[in-house]
Copies of this chain bind each other. A is one copy, B any other.
Amino acid sequence: MKKVGIPKGTRDYSHAAMARRKYIFDTIEDIFRVFGYQPIETPAMESLDTLLGKYGEEGDKLLFKILNSGNFLGGIGEEDLIEADPAGLSMQISEKGLRYDLTVPFARFVVQHRNEITFPFKRYQIQPVWRADRPQKGRYREFYQCDVDIIGSRSLLNELELIEIIDRVFVKFGIRVRIKINNRKILAGITDILGERSRLTEITTALDKLDKIGIEGVNRELAERGIPESSVERLQPIINLSGSIHEKLEQLSKILSGSEAGVRGVKEMSSLFSYMSSLKLKSEIELDLTLARGLNYYTGAIIEVLAEDIRIGSVCGGGRYDDLTGVFGMPDVSGVGVSFGADRIYDVLDQLDLYPEEVRTGTQLLFVNFGESEEKYILSILPKFRDAGISSEIYPDHAKLKKQMTYANQKGIAFVALVGENEISKEILTLKDMESGDQKQLLAEEAIDFILARHNT
């Protein structure tokens, strides 16, 4: 048999996986909706002009490019063809690429439709993205993102709202999470007072290991990374911050008093944490000064969410950006957003066995097909079951009873209806509960009520 398969890093979703994914998307979407966010969708393909240069050099390489259709070599001379390096030639033979994330298409959407949009614009978007990454466990070339953003308002209420959304989503899923929060302005403040503005990444990477390697270890690592001793010295009060979040922020405010950005960052965090304390959030909230996140466009709050009971990387993350749309010619539009990792959430729910019972969807009732005259009778009552919302089917062939029962078993169908001569003459059906094996003779209407009652308990 010819080998069939799908491109590496991609997946087929069976109906069982689809039911679980639908549960995840519906849960998240319902919460987005009650907070007043509205869905949009953008095309899978964007112009390479839109995508290139937005994700760093590494990101550009991970874009899936689409070969121009028709004679894509037209207008390229022989010499150009031979001398071209792949990157250069790819730009001549392709002008579109697959969406790499939902943020850049969102920015493009906002700029393109700015005259139709009411600002502040609260949108969510749940769509697949594609990255030519090396596939490995938990990393796919096609995966879904669930992004929620509000753009056109600088108010911290927006950050607060996103944290409420995160809290609600994971409470609903039954996943205990830790929401880590930091602020890019605080990080800027720290590098300001160290005089090491350009070394932000090295400093936060070292700080990030505090739990693992201790203060001594962090200091050693900072030195190894070439941070001068005097700067490492000045970093000590920050490493040694202690007490409640408000006490930490107070200490920080003194330490960073020499940096304008730092002062503003501390103030923002103080307001945000003060807001949060008035809400009854169920998740652990943490001020984490080592949190930096890779993307360069964050300018204020940064948020990252970790599952408490499983090590799997972050399940949600995001932050405030002040100039997302500037690159498309629409400057000074501040926004804040987070992205939920549907695939990670899927794995967490799976591994912690947190899917609710009712996520098993599928056919509820199978009518066994004994032959032509039974068929006609069944066809006349089947619509009643479907009108009542009961997922019902008739076995299409006159197969042996055993084969039909095996079909019902393999599909996990809860009830089987047996309709023979006897049932037809009495205008009833024999309903068999496939789990208990119990059989009852019922009118169609009674059977409908019985199945619906069972389904709702």
Residues of A within 8 A of B (CB): 1-2, 4-7, 10-15, 18, 22, 33-36, 38-47, 50, 61-62, 64-67, 69-74, 78, 81-82, 84, 86, 89-90, 93-96, 98, 108-109, 111-113, 116, 118, 120, 122-123, 128, 130, 132, 141-142, 150, 153-155, 157-158, 160-161, 164, 275, 278-280, 328-330, 361-363, 366, 369, 375-376, 379-380, 383, 385-386, 389-397, 407, 410-411
Please tell me if the beta carbons of B90 and A379 are within 8 angstroms of each other in the complex: no
Q: Which residues of B contact A155 (CB under 8 A)?
A: 396-397
Please tell me if the beta carbons of B278 and A379 are within 8 angstroms of each other in the complex: yes
Please tell me if the beta carbons of B12 and A40 are within 8 angstroms of each other in the complex: yes
Q: Which residues of B contact A393 (CB under 8 A)?
A: 35-36, 122
Q: Which residues of B contact A62 (CB under 8 A)?
A: 69
Q: Complex: how many Å from CA A366 to CA B93?
A: 50
Q: Complex: how many Å from CA A342 to CA B160?
A: 38
Give this chain's copy count: 2
Q: Which of B18, B35, B46 makes the CB contact (< 8 A) with A6?
A: B46
CB-nearest residue of chain B to A388: B34
A38-B15, A392-B36 known; A64+B64 contact, CB < 8 A:
no
Please tell me if the beta carbons of A363 and B36 are within 8 angstroms of each other in the complex: yes
Q: Which of B14, B112, B164 makes the CB contact (< 8 A) with A116?
A: B14
Q: Which of B47, B78, B109, B380 makes the CB contact (< 8 A) with A12?
A: B109
Q: Which residues of B contact A67 (CB under 8 A)?
A: 64-67, 90, 93-94
CB-nearest residue of chain B to A74: B86
Q: Which residues of B contact A45 (CB under 8 A)?
A: 6-7, 10, 64, 130, 141-142
A4-B111, A386-B35, A396-B120 known; A70+B86 contact, CB < 8 A:
yes
Q: Complex: how many Å from CA A164 to CA B120?
A: 46
Q: Which of B38, B113, B120, B361 makes the CB contact (< 8 A) with A18?
A: B38
17 contacts between A and B (CB under 8 A): A1-B111, A4-B112, A5-B47, A6-B42, A6-B112, A7-B43, A10-B43, A38-B363, A61-B69, A66-B67, A67-B93, A74-B86, A78-B82, A118-B410, A120-B397, A157-B394, A278-B379
